[in-house]
Every structure is written in C-alpha cells, then in structure tokens.
C-alpha cells in the first residue's frame, strides 16, 4: 500500500516569517505522525528559508515512522544526511535560488556523480531515491547509478490533470522503474483532486510526498482531518 509522507517545510515557512517557535515544527511532525501519516519529509535548503539544518537534527530522534530528507547533494547537505542518518534520502537537483523543485536529474549525464552519492549514502544504510522527470531513460539511468528508488516529479501530471494524457508518461517511467527493480515514489503538486487517480493507475507506488497542498488544505480543514482525507484518497479503490 502506498505510504503518505508529509513534507513539513511550509510549517517552518510560517514560523520563520515571524521568528520564534510558532508554529512548533517539532510538535507538528509528531502530531502528523499521530494523525496517521506514515512518514515525515523535510527539504532543507542552504538559505534555510523554511526547514533549518537545526530542525533536522532536532526532529530526527523524534520520528517513529519514516524520515525522508530531500535536497541537492551539496557538501553541507551530504554532511547533514550522514550525520542524522534518515531512513531515506531523496536527491533533488534544485539550484540554491530555486523557489521550489522544478526538474528531475538527468541520470545519464550525471551518472558518475550520482553513483558516488548513492554509494556513500547506502554505505550508511540509507535508502537512496533519485528525483526524476517521467522518462523511462531516466529511471533506467537511476538504476545504473545504484539508487534504491526513484521519485517521479509530478508537477506535469498535476498541471494536465484530468486530461487522459496527463498520466501516460508517468506510467511509462513507472513501468521502467519496476522493470529495473527500483522502488517508486512520487511528489510535487499532488493534491486531494488528483492523488487517487495517480495511485489507482500506478498502484505499485511505494510513497507519495506531499507538502504544499496538504498544509494549504489544513488551513481550512484542520491537520487531523486533512491527513485523514489524503489517506482516504490513497486507499480508495
């Protein structure tokens, strides 16, 4: 069954807007787990405009489900991941000034670098996932790099949904990932509107990582009801 990992970056963004510790990111992570989410995702960036490196260090020992750290594997990020040893690291090629993640890795052109990254993290027992566009060649390339999983960048799917063509490249990439023996994650702009169709069409999806839409829905529905709603969409046949 597909697992729900909640990205808590937006909670940290609200906190950072005023300073102090309101809302409390650590408490939010624990509450999200207690409400039924099966994982917590954080994406620390060099400018620490939302999740800070210190947050990662404080949250890690509290998480009882699965802890996923995603980000660009620059030296400071790699040091942090190897220090706290999350359950999963997701490698994302976002530039330091990127507003949000906007593309996947070219796993063919960056094979040497990604192979080195995967080997280093896996030596510490960390499952390694590579963020890719919905392209079978990129899935095959990720396998050749030694990744355990790929995460499909789902912004294109969300933009085109409910067009019948929206899911097609994702199915092709997901099938190639499966053929290569990779696990499959998905994330970016998945929401209550488009999530169920994605899961029903690609039911071997291991995990979805959702932040912006979920936290936005929680402003209206409350966090507990929102997580329940997302879990319902994931499990609905």
Q: Which of 70, 140, 151, 207 is catalytic?
A: 70
- Active-site residue among 50, 140, 176, 188? 188
Question: Which residue among 33, 43, 50, 151 is the active-site one?
Answer: 43
Round to whole Å and give the CA distance between 51 and 9: 6
Which single residue is written with the structure tokens 């899935």? 139
What's the pLDDT at 65? 97
140 is catalytic: no
Tokens representing 87 are 């359950």
In degrees rounded to 5, what are phi and psi of residue 188? Answer: 110, 110
pTM over 0.75: yes
- The neighbouring-strand residues paired with 90 are 70, 129
Query: How would you label 50-74 residue by residue, b for 16+ Cβ within 10 Å and e otherwise?
Result: bbbbebbeebbeebebbbbbbbbbe
Tens of pLDDT, residues 69-99: 999 999 999 999 999 999 999 999 986 666 5
Among the four given CATH numbers 3.40.50.2300, 4.10.520.10, 3.20.20.70, 3.40.120.10, the one describing domain 3-235: 3.20.20.70
Q: How far apart are CA 226 and CA 67, in angstroms?
A: 20
Active site residue 50: no
CA angle at 6 for the pair 187 and 104, rounded to the nearest 5°: 25
Q: Where are the domains of the chain?
A: 3-235
Q: pLDDT value at position 96? A: 66
pLDDT at 98: 62
Instruction: Clarify whether 212 is annotated catalytic.
Output: no
Q: Give the end-to-end CA distance of the chain in Å, rounded to a whole number.
A: 12
pLDDT tens, N- to C-terminus, the chain (237 residues): 999 999 999 999 999 999 999 999 999 999 999 999 999 999 999 999 999 999 999 999 999 999 999 999 999 999 999 999 999 999 999 866 665 667 899 999 999 999 999 999 999 999 999 999 999 999 999 999 999 999 999 999 999 999 989 999 999 999 999 999 999 999 999 999 999 999 999 999 999 999 999 999 999 999 999 999 999 999 998
């Amino acid at each position: 069954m597909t697992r729900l990992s909640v990205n808590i970056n937006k909670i940290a963004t609200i906190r950072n807007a005023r300073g102090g510790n309101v809302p409390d990111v650590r408490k939010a992570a624990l509450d999200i787990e207690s409400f039924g989410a099966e994982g917590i995702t954080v994406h620390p960036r060099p400018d620490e405009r939302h999740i800070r490196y210190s947050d990662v260090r404080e949250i890690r020992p509290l998480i009882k489900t699965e802890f996923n750290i995603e980000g660009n594997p620059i030296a400071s990020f790699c040091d942090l991941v190897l220090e706290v040893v999350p359950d999963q690291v997701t490698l994302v090629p976002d530039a330091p000034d990127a507003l949000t993640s906007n593309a996947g890795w070219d796993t063919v052109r960056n094979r040497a670098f990604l192979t080195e990254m995967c080997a280093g993290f896996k030596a510490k027992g960390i499952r390694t996932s590579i963020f890719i566009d919905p392209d079978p060649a990129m899935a095959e390339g990720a396998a050749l790099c030694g990744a355990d999983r790929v995460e499909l960048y789902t912004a294109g799917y969300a933009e085109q949904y409910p067009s019948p063509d929206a899911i097609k490249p994702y199915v092709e990439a997901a099938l190639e990932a499966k053929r290569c023996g990779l696990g499959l994650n998905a994330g970016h702009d998945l929401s209550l509107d488009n999530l169920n169709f994605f899961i029903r069409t690609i039911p071997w999806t291991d995990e979805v990582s959702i932040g912006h839409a979920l936290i936005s829905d929680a402003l209206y529905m409350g966090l507990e009801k929102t997580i329940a709603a997302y879990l319902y969409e994931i499990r609905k046949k």
